[in-house]
Structure 1
Amino acid sequence: MQGYNVIMIYNKDMDRLLMCKRRKEPYKGLSNLVGGKIEPGEHGMDAAYRELLEETGISKKDVTLHHVMDFTYYLQQCYVEVYAGRLKSSVIAAGDENELYWSDLGQNFFDMTLYAGEGNIGHMIEQVKMSGILQR
């Protein structure tokens, strides 16, 4: 079963979320969270920090990631690990895989015409809010 991750990076003030505009399928043209494949034998947290650095330039010294939840898609033979973190200070995110931008949290992240993941982004944001894990 192939593993993937998605990483929710909030700014220090917790009022913006790092998003990317997908340049390729699946979800080409839609906004998504950053993330990628977990390599065979790679620990999930290590993969999350690696993908975060590769796609955004944000490193382990900039943010502490928390493993929030997982999704298992049995019919597609894959699973997705979800991580969230709050930046310790202002960081300029830069990468060339997808167009990166900071979204304010007042958006309708359940809108499947704008956001990838069939509403999962909205669900994940609500779970992070409910847990309060990044407020500590």
Structure 2
Amino acid sequence: MQGYNVIAVYNQTIDKLLMCKRKKNPYKGLSNLVGGKIEIDEDGLIAAYRELFEETSISKEDIQLTHLMDFTYYIDNCYVEVYIGKLNKNIEVIGDENDLYWSDLDCNFFDSAKYAGEGNIGHIVEHINFSKEKLLYNNQS
């Protein structure tokens, strides 16, 4: 079963969420969380930090990730691990795989005409909002 990850990255003040505008299929032209493929026999958290650095230049020293939830797609023979974190300092995000931007949090992340994942981003953000204090404010590096 192929593994993937997505990472919900919040800025230091937890009022912006890092998003990428996809340049390739699937979801070309739609906004998504950053992430990528988990290599065979690679630990999920290690893969999340690797993908985060490759796509954004955010290093393990800049953020502490927490494993939030997983999605398993049995018909597609894959799973997605979801991680969350907030930056511990102000840094410039740099990436050339997709266009990166900081999104306000008052968006309709369930809008499948704008966001990838058939509503999963909305579900992830809502779950984070429900547990934000526990997940982000107490997650200090």
TM-score band w.r.t. shorter chain = over 0.9
**Residue type at the aligned position of 1:89:** K
Aligned to 1:58: 58
Aligned to 1:12: 12
Aligned to 1:135: 137
Q: Which has the higher strand share?
A: 1
CA deviations 1:41-86 (Å, max 9, x no partner) are: 1000000000000000000000000000000000000000000001
Matches within 5 A, 1:1-136: 1-132=1-132, 133-136=135-138
CA deviations 1:2-28 (Å, max 9, x no partner) are: 000000000001000000000000000
Q: Which runs of 5+ in 2 are unaligned?
A: none
Q: Counterparts of 1:131 and 1:70 in 2: how far apart (Å)?
A: 16
Is the partner of 2:28 in helix, strand or coil? coil
Identity %: 65
Q: Which runs of 5+ in 1 are unaligned?
A: none
What is the RMSD computed on CA atoms of the aligned residues? 0.5
**Residue type at the aligned position of 2:136:** L
Q: TM-score, normalised by structure 2?
A: 0.95
> After TM superposition, where is structure 1 displaced by more than 2 Å over at least 4 residues in a row?
none
Query: CA shift at 1:135, angstroms?
Result: 1.8
